[in-house]
Amino acid sequence: MDMQEATSNPTMEGDQRNPNSEEEIQPYKIHVSSKYLSLTQKKLELTRLPHEVALPKEREWELGAPKNEIEPLIDFWLENYSWRTQEAHLNNSLPQYRIAFRLPPPSTSPPLRIHFVHIRSRHRHAIPLLLIPSFPLTNLSLIPLFAPLSDPASPTSTQPFHLVVPSIPGLGFSDPFQTPEAKGNVLEYTAMILNSLMLRLKYDFYLASATGSGRESALGVDYHLPRLIGERFPGSCLGVSLLEPEVQSPRVGEGMSWVKFRVARFLKAAVFGYVKEDWKAMNLLRNKSKDTTKKDQINEESPLLSGKRNKSPGTVGVLGLREPTTLSYALCDSPVGLLAVFCSGLRKISPNHSLSPTEIIDVTSLAWLPGIEAGARFWAAAAKEIQAMSKKPPGPRTRVAITVFRVDGSDPDRYTCPAWATRKHNVVFTQRAVGLPGLVPWERVDVVVAGVRGLAREIGNLDPRLKSRRLEEVLMSDDEYSASEDDESGHDIQLDVGRPDTVANLNTNHGAA
């Protein structure tokens, strides 16, 4: 059912249903119209590749994704890859659902449908966890994290979790924001939606976790969205696990934070949240900063997959930020163009990644098939929102776990000292990992899991509200799913829906810690 049909159905308007009734949430199977898959095939066959400049092997990525990287992937996409196979696998292996939320006034937007994966752990002492995809990935890219978090090998000694994994509005199979007032506050509205989703699932108290580095993500979206959930809804979100938050070293005039930093640095002591590994990493940074020949990497950042820290969104000379619709004309019309962007981003984030051709095409398809325009507009709006938030006083100090990478000096100019986050957050757990973040959902699963479990352990000691829920208290049962018919008649849009959606009102009560 499309959004126009949903809003015209009188049984779906207003607040006539019990907000916790199970009819509010519908089992869902992803489906893409065969017409659109055929169009993708034709576009791949008609691809015109750019002429290349001859470069030696060691410099072939200097100007972007080289032809010898892209051409084999095009051939693989045409000859060996099947979206229908991947679609069937995802539908058969993942419990997927969708719910439609009505944005609060003054928004006049149609109900916004959110696609999410809900994995209930079989262990009775599991804790609810909201797992937030790294922007611009979708929930279906986080599969490597699901089993370690929901069904650990040693559940008696290792905390399991009930997982709720939504796609951010406009990405994957979640609807985009439609109205100007929502587009101006996409992070705030998204935080509200995700908190409301957890409450609709009867998870009155839960934890949340980022799945990407805040410093490596597009303008820090992977930091700001998770922390907003914790700050705006401390009455339900009891703690957030953050990966490399966007925080800087204390400066003169910042009170005790600066004094503690100066004293600890002078003594090179393990005090005030600092440890000897921090000083080692910062010494490497100091030595490296003396190298005036160091190449500036700003212009080499991928326009969709990474962002340079400490850069104001208003000064970033990236077409996607200033004119997301202009960028969308190119990438919505060219699956190969989008593939090249992703390959370039993957190369910069993890030069030696081991993703298979199937995994690369999967990630590309999950952006290509719904269209990238909504994600590009979300990013552009988030950039302005983050800039505006930076001029406001800090929010409430919520409980967080902090994970940082590069403690071994693998990239010292990007080292984030966990103690720096204490100015904005109540840091209850920290961990320092060697190496680069890389492709976090694939390459650093153990680090993400350790951060979440460390947070759960500390919050459990501090807050009696964080209790496990019995499995029978969860909203949905496995046998509720009824398979949808593969009827593509009358489809003028790219995505198909298995069952109709009903509308839930957003919970805007921020609550109290």
476-486 pLDDT, tens digit per residue, is 444 433 333 34
**Is pLDDT at 489 greater than 80 in this prediction?**
no
| 385 falls within a domain | no
Q: Are 115 and 166 in contact (CB under 8 A)?
A: yes
Q: CA 62, CA 215: separation in Å to the nearest integer?
A: 23
Average pLDDT over residues 260-288: 79
| 227 falls within a domain | yes
Q: CA 311, CA 299: separation in Å to the nearest integer?
A: 12
CA angle 366, 332, 372 (to 5 degrees): 45
**Is pLDDT at 169 greater than 50 in this prediction?**
yes
| 117 falls within a domain | yes
More confident site: 88 or 301: 88
Q: Where are the beta strands (DSSP E) in 68-174?
A: 96-102, 112-119, 127-132, 161-166
pLDDT of residue 473: 41
Residues with Cβ within 8 Å of 465's Cβ and at least 6 positions away in sequence, in order, are 204, 205, 238
Average pLDDT over residues 399-412: 88
Which of 57-61, 171-175, 255-259 shows the highest mean pLDDT? 171-175
Q: Among 41-50, 151-160, 290-299, 308-317, where is mean pLDDT lowest? A: 308-317
pLDDT of residue 285: 67
| 361 falls within a domain | no
Average pLDDT over residues 265-290: 76
pLDDT of residue 135: 94
Q: CA 104, CA 114: separation in Å to the nearest integer?
A: 16
pLDDT of residue 248: 82
| 317 falls within a domain | no
| 483 falls within a domain | yes
Count other Cβ atoms within 10 Å, centred on residue 67.
Answer: 14
Q: Read out DSSP for 269-311?
A: -S-TT--HHHHHHHHHHHHHHT-TTPPP-GGGS-TTT---TT-
More confident site: 261 or 68: 68
pLDDT of residue 182: 61
Average pLDDT over residues 292-306: 42
| 133 falls within a domain | yes
pLDDT of residue 412: 63
Q: CATH no. for residue 196?
A: 3.40.50.1820
More confident site: 106 or 382: 382
For residue 445, give the 3-state DSSP assignment: helix
The domain in which residue 233 lies consists of: 3-35+91-307+394-505
Question: Residue 45, Cα to own-chain centre: how many angstroms?
Answer: 32
**pTM (2 decimals)?**
0.83
Q: Where are the beta strands (DSSP E) in 144-275?
A: 161-166, 206-210, 237-243
| 266 falls within a domain | yes
Bridge partners, residue 98, by sequence = 26, 115
Cis ω on the peptide bond leading into residue 226 (within 30° of 0)? Answer: no
pLDDT cut 70: percent of the chain above it: 77
Domain count, the chain: 1
Q: Are 229 and 195 in contact (CB under 8 A)?
A: yes
